[in-house]
Structure 1
């Protein structure tokens, strides 16, 4: 029996939860398609089909992070300008097609083109979803909502090694596995387009009570093309945003090792593919635990210590613990001990992550997606550096047998720098809004 109109008028709708679920699924797919390559490049079938050296594999893996980083701001701005519904649909379709293409080509040049295109297409995903959370969730719940979206990404990344290893066996090839991932992505894009709307007011099933619960934005005007340079200028003049960007850069220098070179590290220690995939899955699964903890921690920290201290405290503490864990990796003889310490790194990274997201939502205003893209750009430059840095450090230390130690200590230092940078961030100072009257035609 359907509810009466009187009953419907006094009960707020819950459309915001559906929006969060679909963003969760997109984030899951985002990391599934991204992390699966770490498992694929270590297989004998991939190495035989492509003939890539370890240095070329490092360039191939790093190419994603460079293109992903460079297009963060443009992709974020396009989402602010044309809306999440249109742009994220385009982004998901594009990266799914690039996933399919990766499974078709076999040369180094072809793989690089597919991977660069993949990075460009994925660049707008998190900025767009961050802006969506800002529009669909009230201030006091942004940390938790952001943590659930990030949790979806970490779940996809966590399952990617084991799921990819199993699918390679079941489908008898790495190419077929990528084709399946691409097809699933295209279906997800269709579902997203059907469910999402850019704002609560535009959704036919979001009633006035839910809109009042979420809150009405003060500035709904979409940014214009002529505002890009003034917006970038405000980014360049914000010390807090530079410190946030610096923190993301160095956190990703340390964290990216887990999704790029850890599978190969384990294989080189004599661990078979299935067991190695399970170990990496365990490591990344700790990030799943860290996301909801971090979401709760950042909101609770803000309530307890205020916005200035509360936002940065989880990032600082988590970064310092992650750095100490990498130092332990450098001096442990036990392989499982190293895996356990890497799991702590994964946990701490994701405990700090919701605070990073919430900070950008706090200061971003109607340019949240572009602001997010700016900071995330620097973070992915860090990940690109990590993918290329690891084999270089290993080669440098090969004669003395200290290559692995150098890698772990470099990752530890990166986390310590990130923790120090976070201390200077101030979420109480929004990025200056661009007034239409102040922008020259």
Structure 2
């Protein structure tokens, strides 16, 4: 028996299992980048580099395009059924990838995987909003994103280890998919779309969360109004533009930094991989610190300034770190500068996520999908921008790249200033009061 006067802690379980979801999300997303480099894959399938590039980029194309529709489905039908469905679908697509024997099949499988994964983070934003009090949402958002960062950091090692151990690239995908199906089952058993629906939540925890009633689902007709509100919102456009510019800057770390270390700094491939792991590990710390930073700033300065301060300050520090990169002779000092970029980028992320819950209301997942869509377009553009800058910059191409990345962060820090988290895009509307579970 629990003390009815003491809040239960079901909300912490919700965040924990959502972190687990984010872990397998990133593991399944990044594994193909390692698989296509393996001897097992290349001996099995004779694909050109152009074909491999199309397979790798296919995921992000559908992932970006389906952010808003997948987010709305969660707003309409509930986070629990939809995110469970998304996990099942992308896990099956991951397993399906392991059965493909040619370029066309692999391309289709990755396109489908991108569609299935597109609703994961927007739905997570809606879960955080419904289950976590306002002053704790940034920390919760940071923890969910941390799960993804851990998955992304461990994905190269775990994928290669499975390929070497099992002797086949296909087996690694089947294992990843099977683990995803298990996580989907755990998610379904643990999560409810609304705190009021969970049989183990007591009255004290409901009062702490501050949601005595269930919100009205967002209908298809209301989605049209929501999209019109998104398109007219200065705050949401500022946030979306900042995410796009931020990902142009951060994307360099996971796309071109390994190549830069090997070709320009003379680092071995294995050593370069270790350096990248160190850089991304600082991002994990940034997610945790950013949650506490944003929640503290919100309590200290109010909702509007509390969301802005972590974002703007982080962007300017990232810019300063990139400006230093062309002038440091030590490779480890360069890695340190990139680690600062990784840390401060993720320091801002909890505030970015929390903002979506602040303004999105009943359309939080759709609003989160809107912003995440533009962010992914930025990451894609950044990957294309770097080689173009190197080409037009000639001998000073490397300096031009780092200065451009710094400029993207400066612009992100400035463009976000008009953002106001106190202005909701969708009015609150609840269903009749729901009986509180005992």
TM-score between the two structures when normalised by the length of structure 2: 0.90
Structure 2 CA distance, aligned partners of 1:61 and 1:413? 28
Alignment of 1:43-54 (within 5 A): 43=38, 45-47=40-42, 49-50=44-45
* TM-aligned CA deviation for residue 419 of structure 1: 1.2
Give yes or no for the alignment of 1:69 onto 2:97.
no
Structure 2 CA distance, aligned partners of 1:209 and 1:145? 19
2:22 touches 2:151 (CA, 8 Å); kept in 1?
yes
Which moves more between the two structures, 111-120 or 408-417? 408-417
1:42 touches 1:263 (CA, 8 Å); kept in 2?
no
* TM-aligned CA deviation for residue 32 of structure 1: 1.9
Give yes or no for the alignment of 1:317 onto 2:276.
no
SS of aligned partner of 1:292: helix
SS of aligned partner of 1:9: coil
Alignment of 1:218-229 (within 5 A): 220-229=215-224
Give yes or no for the alignment of 1:301 onto 2:316.
no
How many corresponding residue pairs? 429
Which moves more between the two structures, 150-159 or 282-291? 150-159
Aligned to 1:123: 118
Q: Does the C-alpha gap of structure 1 residues 59 and 339 become closer, same or farther in structure 2, counting only changes over 3 Å?
A: farther
Aligned to 2:21: 26
SS of aligned partner of 2:211: coil
1:85 touches 1:196 (CA, 8 Å); kept in 2?
yes
1:256 touches 1:383 (CA, 8 Å); kept in 2?
yes
Q: Does the C-alpha gap of structure 1 residues 59 and 15 become closer, same or farther in structure 2, counting only changes over 3 Å?
A: same
Q: Does the C-alpha gap of structure 1 residues 211 and 74 become closer, same or farther in structure 2, counting only changes over 3 Å?
A: same
* TM-aligned CA deviation for residue 292 of structure 1: 1.1
Aligned to 1:367: 363
Structure 2 CA distance, aligned partners of 1:299 and 1:192? 26
Uncovered stretches (5+) of structure 2, i.e. residues with no partner: 431-438
Give yes or no for the alignment of 1:109 onto 2:113.
no
Superposition RMSD on alpha carbons, in Å?
Answer: 2.5
Structure 1 CA distance, aligned partners of 2:241 and 2:424? 18
Aligned to 1:383: 379
Aligned to 2:403: 409
* TM-aligned CA deviation for residue 58 of structure 1: 4.3
* TM-aligned CA deviation for residue 306 of structure 1: 1.9
Q: Does the C-alpha gap of structure 1 residues 230 and 367 become closer, same or farther in structure 2, counting only changes over 3 Å?
A: same
Per-residue Cα deviation, 1:109-160 (whole angstroms, up to 9, x for no partner): 3332222211111110011111001111111111111111111111112222
Q: Does the C-alpha gap of structure 1 residues 397 and 267 become closer, same or farther in structure 2, counting only changes over 3 Å?
A: same
Aligned to 1:288: 284
Per-residue Cα deviation, 1:295-318 (whole angstroms, up to 9, x for no partner): 011111122222222211111111
TM-score between the two structures when normalised by the length of structure 1: 0.90
Structure 1 CA distance, aligned partners of 2:397 and 2:180? 38
Aligned to 1:136: 131
* TM-aligned CA deviation for residue 189 of structure 1: 0.8
Aligned to 1:248: 243
Alignment of 1:318-333 (within 5 A): 318-333=314-329
Q: Does the C-alpha gap of structure 1 residues 177 and 338 become closer, same or farther in structure 2, counting only changes over 3 Å?
A: farther
2:282 touches 2:340 (CA, 8 Å); kept in 1?
yes
Aligned to 1:439: none
Structure 2 CA distance, aligned partners of 1:243 and 1:432? 18
* TM-aligned CA deviation for residue 52 of structure 1: 5.1
Q: Does the C-alpha gap of structure 1 residues 111 and 82 become closer, same or farther in structure 2, counting only changes over 3 Å?
A: same
Q: Does the C-alpha gap of structure 1 residues 309 and 123 become closer, same or farther in structure 2, counting only changes over 3 Å?
A: same
Uncovered stretches (5+) of structure 1, i.e. residues with no partner: 437-441
* TM-aligned CA deviation for residue 210 of structure 1: 1.0
Aligned to 1:236: 231
1:95 touches 1:122 (CA, 8 Å); kept in 2?
yes
